[in-house]
Amino acid sequence: MYDLVVVGSGVAGLTAARWAAGSGLAVLVLTKGELSHSATRYAQGGVAAALAPSDSPDRHLADTLAAGAGLCDVDAVRVLVNEGPARVRELQALGAAFDTHGPSGEPALAREGGHSLARVVHAGGDATGAEIERALVASVRAQPGIEVREGWFTTGLRVAAGRCTGVEAVDPQGRPAAFEARHTLLATGGAGQLYAVTTNPRLSTGDGLAMALAAGAAVADVEFMQFHPTALHTPTMPRPLVSEALRGEGAVLRDERGEAFMASEHPMADLAPRDVVSRAMASRMVDRGLDHLWLDATGIPEVARRFPTLAASCRSLGLDPQHDRLPVAPAAHYLSGGVATDLDGATTLAGLWACGETACSGVHGANRLASNSLLDGLVFAPRVAAAIRRGKDGPDPTGVLRDLTPLVPAEPPAPVPASEPPRGSEPEVGTPAASTAAALATLQGALTRDAGVRRDSASLARAAAAVEAVASDPGASAGGRAARELRGLVAVARVLVAAATAREESRGAHIRLDHPSASERFLGRFVAVGGGGGAAVSFAPLAVPQPEAVP
């Protein structure tokens, strides 16, 4: 038996594994891809932290609360901003090479959307995620006490007597196995594959959320899928991301007439929070029959040298960012909700923990502030390890769970049985069956059209019907990893569409054309608890008033 099974190998999972093993726990890391292949490596943006003398955790907190549109948990955000600087410095000590300036080697800080000043550290200009993943993978491979199994797909959680006791999985050849553990951590990332246009890798299929739903754990805020406004408009999927740091350096969005329109949309213009920029872009595109707009970075000196990842993507399209305006459009990017946790990452199911994009810790609210995602994993993963080490076994009524306590039963509902593991082997690797691929494309197309940047009651009803049609499609009941992933995406889609339908307002990343304003009636969270599909959601008002933004 392991002390901790970690499912996922991004910044959250690897950080938790390091800290847990460092405190003497026996750790198993299961990842369905390679150890170094997670959404983390695709993160061109940096890590936001109050490192500059002119900055402070309070200023970082204020910017985070403003972006979160009233739904951030202030206690969780204080944890994030207060502990963040130390976690970034520890990552540097681990060998992560961040960009620096001056003879002292201080981090070169950039400004991104929603930030009131420059506080974002980058690596390689626009390859921060890849550098962080490299440093963490090297550390995990070198550290005793961590067993790593690559190519293992976790299919479900084992639950007995009201607590999680480990996981079920299939190996790279499709053979089933079970792993017992005193504690299990979900760090499986997001669910960008719900959408046809996304910056997320093929691996981001909401596995952790689907497993948590099936096991009876609470899931919250899933309607808040953040769309990154500046993904390169190409046939390539995932869409190459155009780092927000370009706009921090002076790049501007332009429409088909060449007008730099964001100045008329928000006081921060092109550096407005992502939901504001994506909404403005989507409105122009729909009104004018366009499938993309343009980002003008031609005024940035040596842009290709300073942003090499972007330059490589542009070259593949025959573009030069120093001379050409870049075609961009919003793409599904980051799920601000997830498995509900307390301030230590404990979920409503004893023995089960979550951190990173898989979790709803309360730090992001209705819309994530740029470059808070990597910081989220770096800060909350060590808290999971520390809580386990000191003997914590279940959740406390803190953070998001303080809000949800009235809705969460003392005993979780009986988990929905997972489908029987296959006898022998099944094709877990390779091209999915045509019927499964077609069903996935149907799901992705429906959510992109009807539950994307802009929504209303009619479009969400169409999305709900499409989700149920896919659920009954033969492609969703087939064997193999692709079909398992599709079933998980269907479970997450049900919750997303149900919560988006119930939230009759516009707030953060959730834009309802038929309810264009925010409403005090919805100052709270929609939560789904148990039931496998999890389509029924309940509303939990915020348990404590949220403070005004700190000046």
* CA pair distance 256, 219, nearest whole angstrom: 41
Contact (Cβ atoms closer than 8 angstroms) between residue 328 and residue 229: yes
Task: Quote the crossing angle between the two packed helices 373-389 and 128-142, to the nearest 10°.
Answer: 20
Tokens of 506: 């516009």
* CA pair distance 16, 6, nearest whole angstrom: 8
The three-state secondary structure class of 79 is helix
Helices (H), 409-456: 434-450
* CA pair distance 150, 148, nearest whole angstrom: 6
**Taking the CB of residue 287, how many other CB atoms lie within 10 A of it?**
8
* CA pair distance 369, 33, nearest whole angstrom: 28
540 phi/psi in degrees, rounded to 5: -120, 110
Active site residues: 274
In the chain the first and final C-alpha atoms are separated, in Å, by 50
Prior bond of 395 cis (ω within 30°): no
Nearest of 92, 88, 91, 85 to residue 57 by alpha carbon: 85
Residue type at 448?
T
Nearest of 354, 352, 300 to residue 324 by alpha carbon: 300
**Taking the CB of residue 86, how many other CB atoms lie within 10 A of it?**
13
Region of 339 (left: φ > 0; alpha: ψ -120 to 50; beta: rest) is beta
* CA pair distance 149, 458, nearest whole angstrom: 45
Contact (Cβ atoms closer than 8 angstroms) between residue 358 and residue 338: yes
Residue with tokens 């390091």: 18
By DSSP bridging, strand 106-107 and strand 100-101 are antiparallel
Task: Quote the crossing angle between the two packed helices 434-450 and 481-502, to the nearest 10°.
Answer: 20
124 phi/psi in degrees, rounded to 5: 60, 30
Tokens of 388: 């386990």
Beta bridge partners of 294: 254, 327
Contact (Cβ atoms closer than 8 angstroms) between residue 389 and residue 27: no
Q: Three-state SS across 256-291? A: CCCCCCHHHCCCCHHHCCHHHHHHHHHHHHHHHCCC
Strands (E), 112-244: 120-121, 146-150, 153-160, 163-170, 176-186, 218-220, 225-232
